[in-house]
């Protein structure tokens, strides 16, 4: 049985300033902690959410959110 691998999403904790836009754009993968910083789901981004993940990474005001090629 092969396990799906693909792009993953990550955040640079130094660059992130807790705007929260990422969680608004990608709530299926990103939630916010009590201070407004993102908590990311483990694993690769599902194919159905790749376009949303790309949009969230592009919309990050500090460019802290990254989508790897996987």
Per-residue pLDDT at 5: 80
Per-residue pLDDT at 3: 62
User: Domain for residue 35, yes or no?
Assistant: yes
Q: Which domain holds residue 44?
A: 9-67
User: Domain for residue 4, yes or no?
Assistant: no
User: Domain for residue 3, yes or no?
Assistant: no
**pLDDT band of 4, cuts 50, 70, 90:** low
Tell me: pLDDT of 69 over 80.
yes
Evaluated on CA atoms 23, 50, 41, 39, the torsion sign reads negative
For the segment 13-67, what is each residue's pLDDT rounded down to a tens digit? 999 999 999 999 999 999 999 999 999 999 999 999 999 999 999 999 999 999 9
What CATH number is given to the structural domain containing 35? 3.30.70.20
User: Domain for residue 62, yes or no?
Assistant: yes
Number of domains in the chain: 1
């Amino acid at each position: 049985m092969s396990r799906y691998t693909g792009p993953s999403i990550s955040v640079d904790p130094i660059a992130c300033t807790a705007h929260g836009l990422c969680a608004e754009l990608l709530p299926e993968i990103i939630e916010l902690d009590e201070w407004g910083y993102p908590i990311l789901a483990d694993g690769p981004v599902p194919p159905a959410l790749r376009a949303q993940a790309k949009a969230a990474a592009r919309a990050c005001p500090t460019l802290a959110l990254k989508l790897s090629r996987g």
